[in-house]
């Protein structure tokens, strides 16, 4: 039984990166964060607003989810589409998700114009990504199973062959085991386990 090749990886950033980009005396402080929830995004934005409380603009864009279904771009007072969209464009052109980029601007007295603003925010976002590290992450699924001792060999063979991660196991009258795997293997592993005699699926977390 061959397992299917299901898309279950995504590209994101490995750490937080930050720096400063200057254009005609305006300062653009840029920050990139790996994130998994909107709650995390709100917390990062709140922290930056506290630290850079006197800045005129806190422009940002974020994308969440393996398919990048959830996203937002915010110009925070800059002309429409001059800040959030160029930041979002950099995230998309690097095919990243689960990422937040914030660019905090201090106005330097010289107006940059629409094309100047777009270029400045695009450059700051590109630098935030460049100075970070792009990594590939796997989406994980979990299963909890219970089986009698005679089935142990079959279970362990599946664990070894499919490189499943045993998170937890308890041995008493029967065996209980929590397994973690990449999401693309989930259906295959579930079907294989259901063919093992005496084995029960207790919990499923996709």
What's residue 102's pLDDT? 98
Rg of the chain over Cα atoms, rounded to whole angstroms, equals: 23
How many CB atoms are closer than 10 A to CB 197? 9
Q: What is the pLDDT of residues 70-109, one digit of tens each?
A: 999 999 999 999 999 999 999 999 999 999 999 999 998 8
- Write down the domain spans for the chain: 9-136, 139-205
CA distance 29 to 22: 9
Residues 36-81 pLDDT 10s: 999 999 999 999 999 999 999 999 999 998 888 899 999 999 999 9
Q: List the Cα angle 17/29/102 in 5-degree steps.
A: 65
**Segment 191-204 mean pLDDT:** 89
Q: pTM for the full model?
A: 0.77
Fold of 9-136: Ribosomal Protein S5; domain 2 (3.30.230)
Asked if the domains at 9-136 and 139-205 fall in one CATH topology, the answer is no
Q: What is the CATH number of domain 139-205?
A: 3.30.70.1150
């Amino acid at each position: 039984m061959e397992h299917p090749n299901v898309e279950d990886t995504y590209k994101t950033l490995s750490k937080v990166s930050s720096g400063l980009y200057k254009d005609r005396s305006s300062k653009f402080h840029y920050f990139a964060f790996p994130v998994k929830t909107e709650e995390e995004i709100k917390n990062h934005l709140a922290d930056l607003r506290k630290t850079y409380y006197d800045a005129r603009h806190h422009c940002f864009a974020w994308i969440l989810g393996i398919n990048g279904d959830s996203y937002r771009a915010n110009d925070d007072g800059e002309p429409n589409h001059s800040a959030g969209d160029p930041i979002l464009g950099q995230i998309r052109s690097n095919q990243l998700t689960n990422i937040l980029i914030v660019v905090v601007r201090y106005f330097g007295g010289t107006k940059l114009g629409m094309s100047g603003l777009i270029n400045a925010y695009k450059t700051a976002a590109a630098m935030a990504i460049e100075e970070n590290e792009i990594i590939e992450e796997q989406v994980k699924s979990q299963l909890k199973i219970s089986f009698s001792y005679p089935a142990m060999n079959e279970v362990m063979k599946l664990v070894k062959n499919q490189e499943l991660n045993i998170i937890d196991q308890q041995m008493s009258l029967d065996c209980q085991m929590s397994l973690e795997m990449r999401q693309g293997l989930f259906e295959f592993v579930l079907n294989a386990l259901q063919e093992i005699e005496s084995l029960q699926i207790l919990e499923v977390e996709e």
